[in-house]
Amino acid sequence: MRVPAENLLGEVGKGHKIAFNVLNFARFKLGAMCGGGGAAARSARRRATRRSASSSASRSRSFGAIKHKLGEMIVRTYAVESLVYRTAGMIDARIAATPHDAADQSAALATLEEYAIEASIAKVAGSEMLNYVLDENIQIHGGNGYVRDYPAERHYRDSRVNRIFEGTNEINRLLIPGMLARRAVKGDIGIIAAARALQEELLGPPSAPATDDGVLSAETRAVEAYKKAALMAFGIALQTLRPEVERRAGSVDARGGHVDGSVCRRQRRPARGRRRAGEVSEGIAACRRGTRAGQRCSAPHRGIRTPGARSHGRRRHTAHHAGGASASIQGDAGQHGCASPPDRGSGARARGYPF
Model pLDDT for residues 246-289, shown as the tens digit of each residue: 777 665 444 444 444 444 445 555 555 555 555 555 655 665 55
pLDDT at 300: 47
CA-based end-to-end distance of the chain: 39
Nearest to 279 by CA among 303, 312, 315, 295: 303
Asked if residue 227 lies in contact with residue 234, where contact means CB atoms within 8 angstroms, the answer is no
Q: 140 phi and psi, to 5 degrees?
A: -70, -35
Q: What is the pLDDT of residues 53-107, one digit of tens each?
A: 455 445 565 788 888 999 999 999 999 999 999 999 999 999 999 888 877 778 8
* 152 compared with 325, residue with greater pLDDT: 152
No. of helices (H) and no. of strands (E), the chain: 12, 0
One of 81, 118, 153, 166 is an active-site residue; which one?
A: 166
Query: What CATH number has the domain spanning 14-167?
Result: 1.20.140.10
**Residue 185 clears pLDDT 60, i.e. is over it:** yes
Q: What is the DSSP letter of 7?
A: G
What pTM did the predictor assign?
Answer: 0.64
Respond yes or no: is residue 166 known to be catalytic.
Answer: yes
CA angle 179, 180, 186 (to 5 degrees): 90
Q: What is the pLDDT of residues 199-216, one digit of tens each?
A: 888 888 887 777 777 888
pLDDT at 272: 53
Ranges for all domains in the chain classified under CATH 1.20.140.10: 14-167
pLDDT at 21: 85
